[in-house]
Amino acid sequence: MRVLHIDYQQIRRYGKNHGNWVEKLAFGMIKNGHYLQSFSDRDVAAFESPFGLRDLGWKRANRRAVEMVEAVAPELIVLGHCDKITNNSVAEMRKVSPHSVIVHCNCDPLFVPYNVDNIQLRAEVCDAVFVTTGVRELEQFKGKRARAYHIPNPVDESIETLDNSLETDLPIDLLFCSNATKYTSRGKIVQHVKDALDSELAFHTYGSFGMPAVWGREYDRVLAQSRMGLNLNRQEGNYWYASDRMAQLAGSGILQFTSDQQRFDELFPEETIVYFSDESDLVSKIREFHHDDARRRAWAANARRFFFAEMNTRLYAQYIVEAAFEKPFSHDYVWHQE
């Protein structure tokens, strides 16, 4: 089928940031045999502005998005994080392409208030919304036009090409990369780990504690050197929520530690993810796996195998299509919840 994906494609970064969920959705759609067209709302707003100033180009970007719907006549329109594409424009899309099914995919956390507002807004005009938080947290969106579904962050064999579970000579024992400071106090956890373990292992904290943030190929190189990683959300406790860091670590064969508050033990098999209850428990478990490299490699290999078998981009895109059109599911998706 014809699919139009409207989201920020980061064209003007010229490859400096890659491997994000926008690319992964596109790869999954194409691998499943769909014809995909992409519309990068922020880049178009800048390109259409007389001075290259994005904020002056939103009206034209909205008009161009509707024009593209008319030109492509897609069966499926996927709205990602394109907040300045208005609901009025979505209504215009329905007029020019009345056969189109329109969905919203949202990979941001629900503890950010404006993100909840954005989902509520899209749920009024879309046929379905897909959110990277488990459905127990999605009750607040019921009663709108859209049906609400949970989606994970997937892996892709063309992006997650590493397998550090096979490696024994890696210079970084523990990794944490972050550049977000709003709505979080996770720096306290990282500081506790540093204070407890800095003398015992090589712990690199890119983006905090004086280390520069890494993106693109630099991030790839850091992952390639790492045994274990911290999968810390800005806030813990949202059911089945994690950033794309979870898939990046698992897909690269890097053992990860995550809070038990998200209840991922209900989703993943045993001996894949290491769960911790508090800071002391986290330090203790990091120390255990640091001194048992065979166990580290075994658990990381299990997680990588599970992600590539059950949470890959093909299944991810297939699920979105089947749920959007309310088709019978062709696969027993491990993340699907009624």
pLDDT along the chain (338 residues), means of 10: 94 81 96 98 93 91 98 98 96 98 96 94 97 94 94 97 97 91 79 95 92 92 98 92 95 98 97 97 98 98 98 98 98 93
Cα–Cα distance list, 20 to 52, 54, 223, 283 (Å): 25, 22, 15, 30
Amino acid 12: pLDDT: 83
Order the strands of the 274-276 sheet from edge to edge: 203-204, 172-175, 226-230, 255-259, 274-276
Classify residue 328 by its DSSP letter. P
The C-alpha atoms of residue 234 and residue 267 are separated, in whole angstroms, by: 21
Order the strands of the 76-79 sheet from edge to edge: 35-40, 2-7, 76-79, 101-106, 128-131, 147-150
Classify residue 155 by its DSSP letter. B
CB atoms near residue 48 (< 10 Å): 18
Residues 131, 116: contact at Cβ < 8 Å?
no
Closest to 29 (Cα-Cα) out of 148, 156, 217, 139:
156
Amino acid 180: pLDDT: 65
Amino acid 82: pLDDT: 95
- What sign does the dihedral 80-11-85-184 (CA atoms) show? positive
Helix (H, G, I), strand (E, B) or coil at 77: strand
Domains of the chain as residue ranges with CATH = 2-154+312-324 (3.40.50.2000), 164-310 (3.40.50.2000)
Residues 5, 39: contact at Cβ < 8 Å?
yes
